Structure 1
Amino acid sequence: MSLIDVDGLDVHYGELQVLWDVSLEVREDDSVVSIVGPNGAGKTTLLKTLSGILTPTNGRVEVLGQDVTEAPSDDIVERGFVQVSEERNLFGDLSVEKNLRMGSFTKREAFEENRDMVFEMFPVLEERRDQKARTLSGGEQQMLAIGRGLMAEPKVLAFDEPSNALAPQLAEQVFETIEEISDDVTVVLIEQHVDRALGLADRGYLLENGRIQTEGTGEELLHSDAIKEGYLRG
């Protein structure tokens, strides 16, 4: 069964076309699907389209068998697709706990249970539960952004550059967290650390210049000439 099915996607910003005929699939038996490629390739645009933030010019997006090509973002979240954006988009003047509450708007009845699950995963957030989000460190803010995404009980959780601007040790902790999450929730991962992204992936896609150039298992892509020559030199 396909959790996400994208077929023939074209996306524009005004007159500027960013994605051309993009097709990909996220299956129920996938733990991690990684989308890699250079800056400006259209990876974030693709996630914004899947999330309902952008509407494609052509093509079709299905989430759990339902056409969501023109659906609003809140409907897509309720369907089970949640994105943790690169910007994190936290409510800076709200406490950690209130940010988590904002993430549970589709699952209000399970707020306490899901909050406790997030606190178990990230004990530092429980310690800072009354602290304003903007006063957290970068690593703690990333934990909160991930935790807020989990509050919606997603079937697919998408990450856009989760290690961005983090020190190597914190970035490694984020990758370990994503691997842990993928035991229960299918993960879509966009990440500049190509070796790490494909090392985690069951399947991967290489997106360049707005087009899918190649796809395969994570291991196949990791050892492909296109990846080794373009992204793993040195």
Structure 2
Amino acid sequence: MIRVEDVDVAYGDLQVLWDVSMEVRESDGVVALVGPNGAGKSTLLKAISGLVPVADGRIELFGEDVSGLSPEGIVKRGFIQVPEARHLFDGMTVEENLRMGAYTRTDDTTETLAAVFELFPVLEERLDQHAGTLSGGEQQMLAIGRALMADPEVLALDELSVGLAPQLVRRTFEAVAELSEELTVILVEQHVDEALRLADRGYVLEKGRIAATGTGKELLESDRVRTAYLG
């Protein structure tokens, strides 16, 4: 579904990614991307999303080279990212935010909206409420719901648990497990153990390079990962 080959990314003179390669296969339910803060995880998602340019290398989405494609073009091809900061339209209602998620679609979105409400019933209860007045957990649910309205084949979630209470963190991981039965999820997450337990495959990114890869189970059992991230 996604192939990243020897990708370099820089912000001006500051290089952030070096020779990064990874794959997301159709059989993957969850692919975890873990590592310390500043390792380049979010930058890698932004490169796949078309939000930052690739200095070198190649990114393929469903067999097509999309390295120079616009973010809108990436969305239309089925890759949707939920950014760490959520970037909701605070002055718009929950319903309006959800409808905005489907702006690239021309088909009927009724079934998709119903599926979002089934996953996050609270959003239906808050339909006329402004997004900026929701709790942190509700805002995260809305950000995911808005992304789902675009009908993605691959959904990238960037640090979905940041700032959430423990019980809400558990609910978001449960939602990821449910979503992975219908589509592929790329999960960038600070809770390394939880992310790898869910993951079919994982990548460890350190200092802008892929430091380790394997199944979620293999990485959980890796001495390197356990020492660095699991205590």
Over aligned residues, Cα RMSD in angstroms?
A: 0.7
Question: Is the deviation greater in 224-233 or in 104-113?
Answer: 104-113
Match of 2:149 among 148, 151, 173: 151
State TM-score, norm by structure 1.
0.98
Counterpart for residue 163 of structure 1: 161
Match of 1:162, SS state, is coil
Counterpart for residue 184 of structure 2: 186
Query: What amino acid is aligned across from residue 85 of structure 2 in structure 1?
Result: E
Match of 1:125, SS state, is helix
Identity, in percent, stands at 60
Match of 1:132 among 130, 133, 136: 130
Residues 155-234 of structure 1 aligned to structure 2 (within 5 Å) = 155-233=153-231
Match of 1:38 among 19, 36, 39: 36
Counterpart for residue 102 of structure 1: 100
Match of 2:14 among 1, 16, 26: 16
Question: Is the deviation greater in 115-124 or in 192-201?
Answer: 115-124
Query: What amino acid is aligned across from residue 228 of structure 2 in structure 1?
Result: G
Match of 1:93 among 91, 94, 108: 91
Shift of 1:110: 2.3
Query: What amino acid is aligned across from residue 64 of structure 1 in structure 2?
Result: F
Query: What amino acid is aligned across from residue 176 of structure 2 in structure 1?
Result: I
Match of 1:109, SS state, is coil
Q: Which runs of 5+ in 2 are unaligned?
A: none
Query: What amino acid is aligned across from residue 138 of structure 1 in structure 2?
Result: G
Note the alpha carbon deviations across 1:139-163, whole angstroms, 9 max, x for none: 0000000000100110000000000
Q: Which runs of 5+ in 1 are unaligned?
A: none
Structure 2 CA distance for aligned equivalents of residues 173 and 110 of structure 1: 29
Note the alpha carbon deviations across 1:152-191, whole angstroms, 9 max, x for none: 1100000000000000000010000000000011000000
Counterpart for residue 79 of structure 1: 77
Match of 1:48 among 39, 46, 59: 46
Query: What amino acid is aligned across from residue 111 of structure 1 in structure 2?
Result: T
Structure 2 CA distance for aligned equivalents of residues 77 and 62 of structure 1: 14
Structure 1 CA distance for aligned equivalents of residues 52 and 167 of structure 2: 34
Size of the alignment, in residue pairs? 231
Moved over 4 A (4+): none
Structure 2 CA distance for aligned equivalents of residues 110 and 222 of structure 1: 42
Shift of 1:212: 0.1
Structure 2 CA distance for aligned equivalents of residues 60 and 70 of structure 1: 9
Match of 1:34, SS state, is strand
Query: What amino acid is aligned across from residue 94 of structure 1 in structure 2?
Result: M
Query: What amino acid is aligned across from residue 215 of structure 2 in structure 1?
Result: T
Match of 1:110, SS state, is coil
Structure 2 CA distance for aligned equivalents of residues 69 and 110 of structure 1: 30
Shift of 1:114: 1.2
Query: What amino acid is aligned across from residue 23 of structure 1 in structure 2?
Result: S
Query: What amino acid is aligned across from residue 197 of structure 1 in structure 2?
Result: A
Structure 1 CA distance for aligned equivalents of residues 181 and 187 of structure 2: 14
Structure 2 CA distance for aligned equivalents of residues 198 and 93 of structure 1: 36
Structure 1 CA distance for aligned equivalents of residues 105 and 225 of structure 2: 40
